[in-house]
Structure 1
Amino acid sequence: MADKIKKQLDGKPWTAHFDREKDTLRVEDEVSKKGVTISLPGIIAKWENQKEQAVSEVVYYIEEALTAMTEAQDLGGKEKKLFPVIRSTSFPTENSEGTALLFDDHTAETRIFYALDLGNSYRLIDRKMMERENWGHERIRETALFNLRSLKTVTKKDTVAGNTFYFLRANDGYDASRILDESVVQSFHERISGTMAVALPHQDVVIFADIQNDTGYDVLAQMAMSFFASGRVPITALSFLYEENKWEPIFILGKNRPKDSGKDEK
């Protein structure tokens, strides 16, 4: 897989190094040394089904990311291009230069980062970008959340064994971020008659679930794992319950019963 990706990057001013121990491919700009690290197992899994399309997608991601990294980005006059993005808690809190990224805690499994939209890609906002414009954390947070509310919500619905699942997927890079839009969350809360749950498997989808029976938990867990394995930017394979305006991560174990992720199974 590393060789397939390298072949499509031929002619670019970038170097690629395969780490056999970690199963990753590091692609860097030859001058700035900025780059991206790609985990290969997930791409190989997608290649089994999508073949060359899976390789083309990751090459496109690499090209857009490196182009964005090597061009100077400022916030001035770009308030409407700020958006929040959801990432796992294992996601680095510094960029490749060692500069701290701007983020807020969200759940035990997720964090909220902030991004400057560049059209076909975006760049996560770091402390240096903030300092150049003298922008505060609160201003960026409020602006990004305001812009999020302006995005269209595209929903598809499916019903399995009496349980209803709603898929939010506008393919704008901020689908998972929709759970930060309180109006979207409340719209689902009002229509759900059973237990309200959600899955955030990767950045390009969020699944709201109306759980009516034990089978619903199993179906949601299977969906979350499947999407997590195929996502370009995975977040978490865990699901969440919505209680008192908060998201609580759960393990779905044993006989379809949800368990609090912070407790040991008895």
Structure 2
Amino acid sequence: MKMTSIKMKRLLEERLHHPQWNTSFNRDKDIFRVEWKDSRQGISITIPNVIAKYEQRGEEAIEDLEYHIKEALHVMNQSHELTGQEKNIFPVIRATSFPTKTKAGKELVYTDHTAETRIYYALDLGKTYKLIDNEMLEKENWTVERIREVGTFNVRSLSTNLKQDKVAENDFYFMASKDGYDASRILNESLLEEMKANSKGELAIAVPHQDVLVFADVQNESGYDILAQMTMKFFAEGRVPITSLPFLYEDKKLEPIFILAKNKPTNNNSKKDD
């Protein structure tokens, strides 16, 4: 029997029943929300997206969603300190379309990265993490520069084990450690410089979603097509999608590129005057 929005709403209500939580459903927008009764902090879920995952993965998709929602709600209801937790602060890469404020109106801490991406900062709590907001910084007299330095230092300490694959004479390297910070490793300059030094052709890098980092040593034109298809596939499958555009890495800079079928990429900046 086909899963409908109403059936999914009822299923989520059963799974997320809690005496201190409220649930609501916006029929017009097909959005289900669960929030704390006292603070009104919570999470909104787009029902059609959940149904699509349910049809692909069945009960496992619902269990995964339930777990992440409960973890996120519990994190929202706790107070956290940065001092003494420096080793647990990490940068996370997000799309530039990602909100700069929480649902409760708190300004999130972020720094610029590329035309497609932005760097936010997270306090790792073990099973999940909390994005750091300006209120947390002000409370402890931290600066954005300090949080950036701490996060950048910590990302260098993460493992850099890569899996390699060769397709049509092009070398592809994949990072998928599932620690929540795979895309964040694009901020490890020593790793990028090492990959550049060892590349035979042009080095392209992709962060299609939070849990994968792709390096491509592009040695012929078909390599660009393969990278474009690969990046789009990962982007569509990611739990936290970032960007479907890869980057060329040259002179320690990342330039977003459009990859046209059977053609060499064009720089994203060239499109600005269209």
With normalisation by structure 1, the TM-score equals 0.92
1:43–1:208 distance in 2 versus 1, CA, 3 Å = farther
Aligned position for 2:263: 256
* 2:118 matches 1:111: yes
For 1:1-266, list aligned pairs within 5 A.
1-11=8-18, 13-264=20-271
> What letter is aligned with 1:72?
S
Give 1:225 deviation, angstroms: 1.3
CA distance in 1, matches of 2:51, 2:229: 20
> What letter is aligned with 2:219?
Q
Contact residue 45 and residue 230 of structure 1 kept, 8 A: no
Flag structure 1 segments of 5+ consecutive residues without an equivalent: none
> What letter is aligned with 1:158?
D
Contact residue 46 and residue 230 of structure 1 kept, 8 A: no
Contact residue 91 and residue 155 of structure 2 kept, 8 A: yes
2:231 is paired with a residue of what secondary structure? helix
CA distance in 1, matches of 2:136, 2:126: 18
Give 1:94 deviation, angstroms: 1.0
Give 1:213 deviation, angstroms: 1.6
Deviations 1:134-179, CA, capped at 9 Å, x for gaps = 1111111111111111111232111111111111111111110001
Identical-residue share of aligned pairs (%) = 53
CA distance in 1, matches of 2:270, 2:55: 36
How large is the RMSD of aligned CA atoms in angstroms?
A: 2.0
> What letter is aligned with 1:105?
D
CA distance in 2, matches of 1:200, 1:2: 32
CA distance in 1, matches of 2:42, 2:188: 32
> What letter is aligned with 1:221?
A
**Which stretch of the first structure deviates more once superposed, 170-179 or 13-22?**
13-22
1:4–1:199 distance in 2 versus 1, CA, 3 Å = farther
CA distance in 2, matches of 1:239, 1:42: 25
CA distance in 1, matches of 2:49, 2:180: 19
Contact residue 225 and residue 261 of structure 2 kept, 8 A: no
CA distance in 2, matches of 1:12, 1:116: 28
CA distance in 1, matches of 2:28, 2:224: 36
Higher relative CO (Cα under 8 Å, sequence separation at least 6) belongs to 1
CA distance in 2, matches of 1:202, 1:12: 35
Q: How many residues align?
A: 266
> What letter is aligned with 1:162?
E
**Structure number having the greater strand percentage:** 1
**Which stretch of the first structure deviates more once superposed, 174-183 or 252-261?**
252-261
Flag structure 2 segments of 5+ consecutive residues without an equivalent: 1-7
Deviations 1:178-216, CA, capped at 9 Å, x for gaps = 010111111211221111111111111111111112221
Deviations 1:26-69, CA, capped at 9 Å, x for gaps = 32122211112234454444334322222222221111111111
> What letter is aligned with 2:172?
F
CA distance in 2, matches of 1:194, 1:166: 14
CA distance in 2, matches of 1:245, 1:81: 27
1:253 is paired with a residue of what secondary structure? coil
